[in-house]
Structures are given as structure tokens and as C-alpha cells.
């Protein structure tokens, strides 16, 4: 029960056309695969770089960008579907705004060598998303993805700052929580990392953060980015004393590659110094106005 994961510190790059972006993405996937990664985690809103292929008018209209990106969603998904198959990897694609049932959502698609495996939408939206961009809170479905090496779930950026999603995912069998993120400031990035570390502690699980880095002054939505990739665990026996497995120097482009051994998670859940995971099962958590549905998706 081991897997090597690549977490991206990903720059929002300007592209001249869709093919240019496609070649850029493949170079990233090929690089991670060449280093033995079996799962690739791209950050939240990494797909916003596709706005660079649109007209100046669209570049400057963040609400219209949602419609234009939604129009090329099928092409976007096809690129990652082909790459996952070609390189025999699982890819959590950079999240992208979509329009679903009339709602503007922030969605992270998951692809395996067999094709599209599902997606996770963001529950909690930030003030910028909600007040300025028009991104809305998604219908409350959490998806557990079941790979050959274990189960994982996704908590997009702000979502990982709340306990409820990760707890329900781990209760449904997840040993790993992936947190793709996009933040402007050190404070914002820190909130995500503190959240990810807390979720690792509470659930005696692994958490992985991927973030956007650098500036894209042409984009009013993701113009400034501060980020750091990281792998966290609960601080317990046979795991790092501070729960920090590995981190990358902030703001550097590239992958952070790490092998994770899930037998260590099972061990501390069964016989750790404390029983955070088991004791968390005694707590009842809910969103007052919504029922949360749990889906299980198997990756072929």
C-alpha cells in the first residue's frame, strides 16, 4: 500500500493558443511520470491560465471567463484523459470553473488510465469567489476515490480549513486528503497549510497541498499567487515528529515528489499514541441547511 505522489507548485503561465497550453501541460505530466509518480496533484484554479488564449475583453471580465471556460470544458477534460492514459497515472487536474445546472462551480476533475473517474466540487467559497467572481457553493456531495493502493478524497483550498469534509471522507475509508489551492498571500497560504495539518491530525491521515505560484498580471482572477507544496501526516509513531513529511521552497516552479506508505496510517489508527481518528467518529458533524452525500468512485 504505497504510492508516489507529485504535488505541483504551479505557475499561471500565459499561452498563445490551446495547443500551446496542451504541450505545456504534457511537459509537466511527463516530468512527474519520469520521476515515478503515480498520482499527480495540480492546484486550484491552475486552469485559469487558459484565459490567456482568449481576447483582451474576456481576459478583463472575470464573470464572462466562467462561460468561456465552460465552453471548452470538454476539450480540457480530453487533454487530461489522454495524458492519464498515455503516462498511466492518476491526475487531479487543476480546478476549473464550470456551469452545472445553472450554478457556477469550482471543480477538480480526476482522471485515471481508464478515463474520467469523477470530480470534486468546492463546498465553501471565499469572499472573492462569492462576492466578486460569482463562484457558488456546490451541491453537497463528497467523493471517495478508490485506487489500487488506497482511498483518497479532495478538499479544495478553503474547504480544507473546515473539519467536516475530511472527517466524512476519512470515515468513508479515505487515508489521504488532497488539497489543491490558490492563494495570493502568505496569510492565505498559511491558512490552507494549517488546515491541512489539522485534518491530518484529526483523522490520522496523510494530507497533500498543491498551490499556484508567481504572478500573472494579465489575469484579474489569479494575478498574484503565493504557494508551497507540502506533505503532512499525523505526528505519531513511525511518522515525522512534527507531522511535516516534506515541503518545497515557496514560489519555486516544479513538483514535490514523495512516496507515501499507507500501512503507517493503518498502524497509528489501530495502535497509535492517541486515537484521534476513532475518537472523531464519536462526534456528529453536519451543515445545518444541507445533507452531505458520500459517493464512492473506483479507479480502474
Other C-beta atoms closer than 10 Å to the C-beta of 94 total 28
Exposure string over 71-84, b if 16+ CB within 10 A, otherwise e: ebbeebbebbbebb
Give me 286's grid cell.
453536519
Low-confidence ranges of the chain (pLDDT < 70): none
For position 64, what pLDDT does the model report?
94
Please name the residues in contact with 218: beta carbons below 8 A apart, sequence gap of 6 or more. Answer: 14, 52, 59
Q: Provide the domain limits for residue 151.
A: 2-298
Exposure string over 163-181, b if 16+ CB within 10 A, otherwise e: bbbbbbbbeeebbbbbbbb
Local structure of residue 61 (DSSP, 8 states): -
Please name the residues in contact with 251: beta carbons below 8 A apart, sequence gap of 6 or more. Answer: 9, 213, 214, 226, 227, 228
Query: 3-class DSSP state for residue 273?
Result: coil
Q: CB of 210 within 8 A of CB of 7?
A: yes
**pTM score over 0.95:** yes
For position 123, what pLDDT does the model report?
97
For position 285, what pLDDT does the model report?
80
| CA neighbor of 141 nearest in space, from 291, 288, 285, 283 | 291
Q: CA-CA distance, 8 to 259, in Å (whole number)?
A: 15
| pLDDT one-digit tens code per residue, 153-186 | 999 999 999 999 999 999 999 999 999 999 999 9
Q: CB of 26 within 8 A of CB of 164?
A: no
The enclosing domain of 94 has a CATH number of 3.60.110.10
The per-residue pLDDT of the chain, averaged, comes to 96
DSSP-derived pairing of the beta strands 206-215 and 224-225: antiparallel
Q: How many independent structural domains does the chain possess?
A: 1
The DSSP result for 152-215, as a single string, is EEE--GGGGGSHHHHHHHHHTT-SEEEEEE--SSHHHHHHHHHHHHHHHHHHT-EEEEEEEEEE
Amino acid at each position: 500500500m504505497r504510492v508516489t505522489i507529485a504535488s505541483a507548485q504551479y505557475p499561471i503561465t500565459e499561452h498563445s493558443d490551446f495547443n500551446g497550453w496542451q504541450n505545456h501541460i504534457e511537459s509537466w505530466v511527463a516530468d512527474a511520470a519520469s520521476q515515478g509518480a503515480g498520482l499527480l496533484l495540480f492546484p486550484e484554479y491552475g486552469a485559469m491560465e487558459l484565459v490567456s488564449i482568449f481576447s483582451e475583453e474576456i481576459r478583463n471580465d472575470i464573470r464572462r471567463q466562467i462561460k468561456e471556460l465552460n465552453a471548452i470544458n470538454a476539450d480540457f477534460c480530453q487533454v487530461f484523459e489522454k495524458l492519464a492514459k498515455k503516462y498511466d497515472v492518476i491526475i487531479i487536474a487543476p480546478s476549473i470553473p464550470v456551469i452545472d445546472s445553472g450554478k457556477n462551480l469550482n471543480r477538480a476533475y480526476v482522471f485515471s488510465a481508464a478515463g474520467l473517474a469523477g470530480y470534486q466540487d468546492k463546498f465553501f467559497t471565499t469572499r472573492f469567489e462569492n462576492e466578486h467572481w460569482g463562484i457558488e457553493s456546490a451541491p453537497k456531495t463528497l467523493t471517495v476515490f478508490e485506487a489500487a493502493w488506497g482511498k483518497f478524497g479532495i478538499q479544495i483550498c478553503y474547504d480544507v480549513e473546515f473539519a467536516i469534509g475530511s472527517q466524512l471522507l476519512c470515515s468513508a475509508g479515505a487515508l489521504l486528503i488532497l488539497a489543491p489551492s490558490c492563494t495570493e498571500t502568505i496569510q492565505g497560504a498559511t491558512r490552507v497549510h494549517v488546515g491541512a495539518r489539522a485534518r491530518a491530525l484529526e483523522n490520522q491521515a496523510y494530507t497533500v497541498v498543491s498551490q499556484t505560484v508567481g504572478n500573472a498580471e494579465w489575469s484579474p482572477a489569479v494575478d498574484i499567487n503565493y504557494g508551497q507544496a507540502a506533505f503532512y501526516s499525523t505526528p505519531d509513531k513511525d511518522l515525522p515528529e512534527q507531522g511535516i513529511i516534506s515541503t518545497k521552497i515557496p514560489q519555486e516552479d516544479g513538483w514535490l515528489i514523495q512516496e507515501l506508505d499507507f500501512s503507517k496510517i493503518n498502524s497509528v489508527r489501530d495502535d497509535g499514541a492517541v486515537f484521534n481518528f476513532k475518537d472523531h467518529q464519536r462526534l456528529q458533524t453536519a451543515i445545518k441547511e444541507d445533507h452531505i452525500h458520500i459517493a464512492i468512485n473506483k479507479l480502474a
